[in-house]
Amino acid sequence: MNNGSAMQINGATELYGIMGNPVAHSLSPAMHNAAFTALGLNKAYLPFAVQDIAQAMTGLRALGLKGVSVTIPYKQTVIEYLDSLDPVAEKIGAVNTLVINNGAIHGANTDWLGANRALSEKISLKGSSVLLLGAGGSARAIGFGLLEAGASLTLASRTPEKGLALARLLGCPWLPLAETISARADALVNATSLGMGPQQELLPIAKEALANFKVVMDIVYAPLTTRLLQEARQAGCQTINGLAMLLYQGAAQFELWTGQQAPVEVMRQSLLASLQP
């Protein structure tokens, strides 16, 4: 391990990155470059704002990149350009990680691994019950991941069409968000955007319902302590902020790319530093 001195880019540097649109706001470059530096690895990670996914995939092969994170809006569309696909990523129908070996591109999904690892620090997932809020891509990955770990699941969302469709895929019951007031489970996971940005004061579930859960996890990480987590603490719940899933999905990516154990604390500190105003 080196002393954390600045990375030297040279002819042997292996290149990684994140592709999406937009990506300028991504915290992944800070997290992964800190990890590479901490372990003295001659690797660098860059953001790539991609307009055309087909051309981008050709470019990744041609330029010899070793690994890429995939974010919005390409997590689904990237699948048709892969040479192989992880079975859980296939179930989820979304990929957030590319592993590139001699031009062959393998797709995986570490979002579910990140969510499971964050939750399993507080509860044993096998046999536990979880109420999952949301019906978008994040909810889909988290839902499949929880089922993979042996948890039982109830889904709740604002829009019945999307919610019922995802619940059918997951094979679990669905509730309208308005009816979650009496729901009970070991854990509550917010995979909606409520609580982020201009919706910071909005709660995805009634405050009075929070006492029905031992653990409350929010995948929103800006702000780091959302109103949901503040209210959950007051209700006596253990809480998990959005940094945990972001961190652990990144750690799983790092391990897929390098075969080495991720320096989780270094990565956590780089994320916290990036979130400072």
For the chain, which domains are there? Answer: 14-109 (3.40.50.10860), 113-243 (3.40.50.720)
First to last CA, the chain: 30
pLDDT of amino acid 199: 87
Which pLDDT band, with edges at 50, 70 and 90, does 197 fall under? confident
In whole angstroms, what is the distance from residue 253 CA to residue 98 CA?
Answer: 9
| pLDDT at residue 1 greater than cutoff 50 | no
Mean pLDDT of 175-194: 95
Residue 228 has pLDDT above 50, yes or no: yes
Residue linked to tokens 């860059």: 46
Cα 185 to Cα 217: distance, rounded to the nearest angstrom: 13
3-state secondary structure of 152: strand
Greater confidence (198 vs 235) lies with 235
pLDDT score of 82? 98
Query: How high is the pLDDT of residue 6?
Result: 61
Per-residue pLDDT tens over the stretch 21-39: 999 999 999 999 999 999 9
Higher-confidence residue of 267 and 6: namely 267
pLDDT of residue 177: 92
Residues 6 or more apart from 98 whose CB is under 8 A from it?
A: 60, 67, 68, 69, 70, 78, 82, 105, 106, 107, 108
Cβ contact 187:128 at 8 Å? yes
Residue 169 has pLDDT above 80, yes or no: yes
Mean pLDDT of 242-263: 98
Residue 149 has pLDDT above 60, yes or no: yes
Average pLDDT, the chain: 95
Catalytic residue among 43, 75, 91, 122: 75
Among left, alpha and beta (phi > 0; psi -120 to 50; other), residue 136 is beta
**pTM for this structure?**
0.92
What share of the chain has pLDDT > 70, as a percent?
A: 97
Task: List, for residues 255-269, the tens digit of each pLDDT value.
Answer: 999 999 999 999 999
pLDDT at 5: 53
The whole-angstrom separation of Cα 125 and Cα 115 is 11
Find out whether 124 and 112 touch, Cβ atoms under 8 Å. Answer: no
What is residue 264's predicted lDDT score, i.e. its pLDDT? 98
The pair of structure tokens assigned to 76 is 């689904």
pLDDT value, residue 8? 86
71: nearest Cα among 91, 95, 54: 95
- pLDDT tens sequence across 43-79: 999 999 999 999 999 999 999 999 999 999 999 999 9
Q: How far is CA 157 from CA 59, 91, 154, 197, 215, in A?
A: 38, 21, 10, 19, 19
Tokens of 233: 């603490």
* 91 belongs to the catalytic site: no
104-108 and 129-133: which strand pairing?
unpaired
Neighbours of 179 (CB within 10 A): 10
- List alpha helices for the chain, DSSP H: 28-38, 53-63, 87-92, 111-120, 137-148, 160-170, 227-234, 242-258, 264-275
What pLDDT is recorded for position 3? Answer: 43
Beta strands across the sheet bearing 185-190 = 174-176, 152-157, 129-133, 185-190, 213-218, 238-240
Mean pLDDT of 161-179: 96
